[in-house]
Structure 1
Amino acid sequence: MSQDEDKRLAALAAAAEVEDGMLVGLGTGSTAAFLIDELARRAGEGLRIEAVATSLASERQAIAGGLTVRPFDEVAAIDLCIDGADEIDGACIAIKGAGAAMTREKIVAAAARRMVVIADGSKQVASLGENFPVPVEVLPFARAFVAHRLTALGGTPVLRLRDGAEWRTDQNNPILDTRFGAIADPLALARALSCIPGVVGHGLFVDEVDAAYVARDGIVSRIERPGAPAAPKA
């Protein structure tokens, strides 16, 4: 079973939570792309939904597939957000941001009644941070200052590049991919990052994720965060 097939299976499992009349937040990345394709297919068969997108790339894919995408700046709340993750642990705490959309993703997740992560088994970890850095989006004006503060927190920030040039988010901000090693207290680190002036957003999702569908070798498991809003009944 390939990694892409596991991504697709996780996306299909989460897509089953989408019901007629919902306003759905569409994530960003390779796993979310399978979700968007599935929702576009179901919409072609009569599923009536509207969507908001966490990135320009996801918006373009959704519109090309025939989905109705609303501008998020006109939306205060949504029913369900489904997105990928770069790492997720057994408590549904995640690191996101490989696709550079973590700030928009976090805002859409916070607006959702329920937020679901979809991932292949390689993204499930015992301790966050061992394999993946925490992406930190910063104002260009504050880049050196924020990097200094991240270092003081024990991190090793590296400016994200693409094709040799500084990678900019959809908000036109740079990203400092910051390695902290195994993160013993994600909540404390998330609070510390949010308190640094010049940080626009970061990829630690501590309490936004309500559930995760994780596929490994063709088998999908669902992890629910205790006390999280329940999935719709089939």
Structure 2
Amino acid sequence: MQINVLTLFPDMFTPLQTSMLGRGLEDNKWQLNLVNFRDFTADVHHHVDDAPYGGGAGMVLQIMPIKRALDSLKNKGKVIITAPQGKIFNQQVAQNWAREENLTFICGHYEGFDQRVYDMADEVVSIGDYVLTGGELPTMSMIDATIRLLPGILGNAASPIDESFSHGLLEYPQYTRPENFEGMKVPAVLTSGNHQKIAEWRHKEALKVTYLKRPDLLEKYVMTTAEKKMLSEIKAEINKA
């Protein structure tokens, strides 16, 4: 997969070139193409923004340098903008994007884009109801969430399958050595060697964590009969505690 990013601050994207994603870049499992759209301006001062027609506070990013930067790309693929009016980004969106061959992100600044820039986007996406100084940080978050789903990036093919949100539930608790630390013990089932019991425990714990910390997720989650029984047991255990 190739990721194109149109940004005024390409140096901000260093974190994507480290750790597991960095190794993926080195192994050519994905490519990162950073494009400074200031390089596509027509005036000597390289202006990328201007005052909005009709008046108003702040400056608006112009369409011309962004359109020229987009036209310079051989493989744009899906064009994505981050903005408050966009749909909320989630794991399902990341999974859908991970199936694409090319993605192009446009990072905004100032008071946003000329509306005609939004009209060129295939998707407008938000990472939450709060305001940041630019589109670089949300873009990096979305790229990370997407690229880590590609084969070979995490090393363990099962890793993205068991994670929070992958099946609509939060992830179950995890433990490692020592088995007993200052009286805090690892649940006995995890050291039992009974893989069926371990799987059942993990499923129930994932349901429990979701019920306690993100009950809103259960409103959209379609439970099986066995899961409904599990949830009843969980509620009974909580009320008894």
TM-score range, shorter chain: under 0.3
If each structure's strand is expressed as a fraction of its own residues, which one has the higher value? 1
- The alignment's TM-score, normalised by the length of structure 2, stands at 0.26
Q: TM-score of the superposition, structure 1-length normalised?
A: 0.26
